[in-house]
Amino acid sequence: MSTPLISIRDLHVEFPHRRTVVTAVRGIDLDIHPGECVAIVGESGSGKSVTARTLVGLAGPGAVVRSERFDVNGRDARQFGEEQWRRLRGGFAGLVLQDALVSLDPLRTVGAEIGEVLRVHGHRGDRKERVRELLRTVHVPEPERRAGQYSHQLSGGLRQRALIASAIAGGPPLLIADEPTTALDVTVQAQILDLLAERRAAGETLLLISHDLAVVARLADRVLVMRDGLIVEAGETGTLLSAPDHPYTKKLLKAVPSAATRGRQLSGTGSTASIEPSAEAVIEASGLTKRYGKHTVVQDVDLTVRRGEIVGLVGESGSGKTTVAQLLFGLVAPTAGSVRFEGADWTGVPERRRRALRRRMQFISQDPLSSFDPRWTVRRIVAEALPRGAVVEPLLERVGLGADLLDRHPRRLSGGQRQRVAIARALAPRPSLIICDEPVSALDVSVQAQVLDLLADIRATDGTALLFISHDLGVVHHLADRVLVMHDGAVVESGPIDDVFHRPQHDYTRALLGAVPTLEAL
């Protein structure tokens, strides 16, 4: 076998902080051979990103890097000074980060950002022409015009392509992509994955970092599963995904929601209890339309949620999902159409008359932290939603939180704990409907599994109806009874979940479903 591009033994990365030391990576081995695609998969805090950045000497300010062997391109990188590292960056390894909106300098044109790599690495010849060529390589249409634009003027997919162009501009033998598709819509994600697959097919070496097993499954030859700074399992992609050895890998794979996981717990072994939704509607919207000036954001949406039913609302960013939630919640008034909630008129009546019913409809957002007063304790946050004098503890227990968290402030809770507090607060007034807007999108897959199990359980035991808004089709297929697919402000298809997802009628639904990376395809 040829010399590996990267060969690392027993890598440790530590961040001394005041008197303590935070250990991000605690002894991993990593070999990357030319032409192969290696993926590191792990949840947040597993050390996967730090590992990737250490490979280009950018572990971070104050980082202490130790290893038994750290060979880059056959040379011992432990002896490297800043100047040697600098020459490797962009020249030997290109780095692609998550979300190009913040990973490209917003004050500089895309062309200037890509051209910068050429300038640093002493590109001879016409730099502008080379930039256009690079943009063409990553399939950016109209490279001439795009090179003169700023990152905020490009769509998410084009931005990410431009970022990849800047990473490959120096012609590096190794491309490191750290969560390259995480901020993207599913159809755009599929395009970027195609692009990476194309680079790999051309013989390029790829190191892929992701939290999503399904994303790497398509591309990687080998997968390394990381947890708490250690590699718990490594192996060929097919073997690792079909026959995982380590309990953590098994748990991760089991936690991924999909059609196959309907009716069973994601975080445990049991099945989730289910109830038959009644025929009585909790909320009923007809002909909902919202225009801002000439812009139609929501177009003629009909939507019904029955008692005890979970209805999924899926669509990509900008499809109008969140506006629908705001219209149902009565935060904005519709331009046309009406909503009835619990049998009473909900739109077109004064807020004074709605107030009594407000407690029956609750809301959970993607980012609960910003919906809490940062100075309040968990106790106060939940107690505010309860009748005066009621105790908080049983409710917290209901959502799986211990009483020891009662006096904590939201900032000192983990993402999963915060979302549980938000759920507890939403449950407190005994609502008949909870509108959940991307409630698990910011969570790691194992935490997401627990929160989804909790939501399923709440529906089954309390009979609470859920309107579940999500861009993640797997999550919706796992949880929902019925689904509505939104595109450009309109509902293009709706019906029972299995009908829509297994026998989609509309082209857009088909495109959406086709773009989802799955583990089952293997």
Partner 1 sequence: MIVLRRLGAGLVVLWVAATAAYLALLAAPGSTVDSIIGDGADTPLIRSQIIQEWNLDRPAVVQYLDYLWRFGHGDLGRSYLLQRPVRDVIGDQIFPTVKLALAAAGLGIVLAVLLALTTRRPWSRRVSSTAELVLVSTPPFLIGLVLLSVFSFQFGLFPVSGDRGLAALVLPAITLALPVAGVLTQVLRDGIDRALEEPFVVTARARGLRERAVLARHALRHALLPAVSLLGWLCGTLLGGVVIIETVFGRPGLGQVTLQAVGSEDMPVVLAVVVFSAAAYVLLNTAADLALLVVDPRLRASTS
Shortest distance, position 97 Cβ to partner 1, whole Å: 6
Amino acid symbol at 337? G
Q: Which of residues 89 and 254 has its CB atom nearest to partner 1 in the complex?
A: 89
Beta bridge partners of 484: 313, 494
407, two tokens: 């006096």
Interhelix angle 415-427/378-385, rounded to 10 degrees, is 20
Q: Which of residues 18 and 152 has its CB atom nearest to partner 1 in the complex?
A: 152
Question: Can residue 393 be called a binding residue for partner 1 (CB under 8 A)?
Answer: no
Distance CA 502, CA 518 (A): 14
Q: Which of residues 93 and 422 has its CB atom nearest to partner 1 in the complex?
A: 93
Which stretch of DSSP H or E encloses residue 256?
none
Q: What is the gyration radius of the CA atoms in the chain, in angstroms?
A: 25
Q: Which stretch binds partner 1 (CB under 8 A): 36-44, 81-89, 237-245, 298-306?
A: 81-89
Q: Which of residues 102 and 275 has its CB atom nearest to partner 1 in the complex?
A: 102
Shortest distance, position 55 Cβ to partner 1, whole Å: 10
Closest CA relative to residue 470, chosen from 431, 512, 414, 499: 512
Closest CA relative to residue 226, chosen from 40, 492, 480: 40
Distance CA 214, CA 223 (A): 11
The DSSP symbol for 199 reads: H
Q: Which of residues 153 and 271 has its CB atom nearest to partner 1 in the complex?
A: 153
Distance CA 189, CA 180 (A): 9
Binds partner 1 (CB under 8 A): choice among 24, 40, 41, 56:
56
Shortest distance, position 98 Cβ to partner 1, whole Å: 8
**Alpha helices for 256-405 (secondary structure H):** 321-329, 351-358, 378-385, 393-398
Binds partner 1 (CB under 8 A): choice among 13, 164, 167, 428:
167
Closest CA relative to residue 214, chosen from 241, 196, 188: 241
Residue 208: which region, alpha, beta or left (left: phi > 0; alpha: psi -120 to 50)?
beta
Shortest distance, position 163 Cβ to partner 1, whole Å: 7
Binds partner 1 (CB under 8 A): choice among 45, 91, 173, 495:
91
Shortest distance, position 170 Cβ to partner 1, whole Å: 7
Q: Which of residues 154 and 452 has its CB atom nearest to partner 1 in the complex?
A: 154
Contacts with partner 1 by CB under 8 A: the residue count is 35
Task: Give residues with Cβ within 8 angstroms of 269, minimum separation 6.
Answer: none
Which stretch of DSSP H or E encloses residue 492?
strand 490-496
Question: Can residue 152 be called a binding residue for partner 1 (CB under 8 A)?
Answer: yes
Question: Can residue 163 be called a binding residue for partner 1 (CB under 8 A)?
Answer: yes
Shortest distance, position 56 Cβ to partner 1, whole Å: 6
Binds partner 1 (CB under 8 A): choice among 53, 418, 459, 487:
53
19, two tokens: 């008197």
- At residue 494, the 3 state secondary structure works out as strand
Question: Hey, which residues between 345 and 384 contact partner 1 (CB under 8 A)?
Answer: none
Contact 278, 432 (CB under 8 A): no
Shortest distance, position 435 Cβ to partner 1, whole Å: 30
Closest CA relative to residue 182, chosen from 305, 99, 242: 99
Question: Can residue 86 be called a binding residue for partner 1 (CB under 8 A)?
Answer: yes
Q: Which of residues 83 and 404 has its CB atom nearest to partner 1 in the complex?
A: 83
Contact 38, 6 (CB under 8 A): no
470, two tokens: 């999500």
Question: Can residue 88 be called a binding residue for partner 1 (CB under 8 A)?
Answer: yes
Binds partner 1 (CB under 8 A): choice among 3, 44, 153, 242:
153
Question: Hey, which residues between 450 and 489 contact partner 1 (CB under 8 A)?
Answer: none
Q: Which of residues 71 and 179 has its CB atom nearest to partner 1 in the complex?
A: 179
- At residue 387, the 3 state secondary structure works out as coil
Shortest distance, position 363 Cβ to partner 1, whole Å: 29
Binds partner 1 (CB under 8 A): choice among 73, 150, 284, 376:
150
Shortest distance, position 90 Cβ to partner 1, whole Å: 4
Shortest distance, position 5 Cβ to partner 1, whole Å: 16
Question: Can residue 293 be called a binding residue for partner 1 (CB under 8 A)?
Answer: no
Q: Cβ–Cβ contacts within 10 Å for residue 387, how many?
A: 10
312, two tokens: 């999924």
Binding mask 96-135 for partner 1 (x = CB under 8 A): -xxx--xxxxxxxx------xx--xx--------------
Task: Count CA within 13 A, CB hemisphere, residue 284.
Answer: 11
Shortest distance, position 1 Cβ to partner 1, whole Å: 28
* Residues within the interface to partner 1 (CB under 8 A): 53, 56, 58, 86-91, 93-95, 97-99, 102-109, 116-117, 120-121, 150, 152-153, 163, 166-167, 169-170
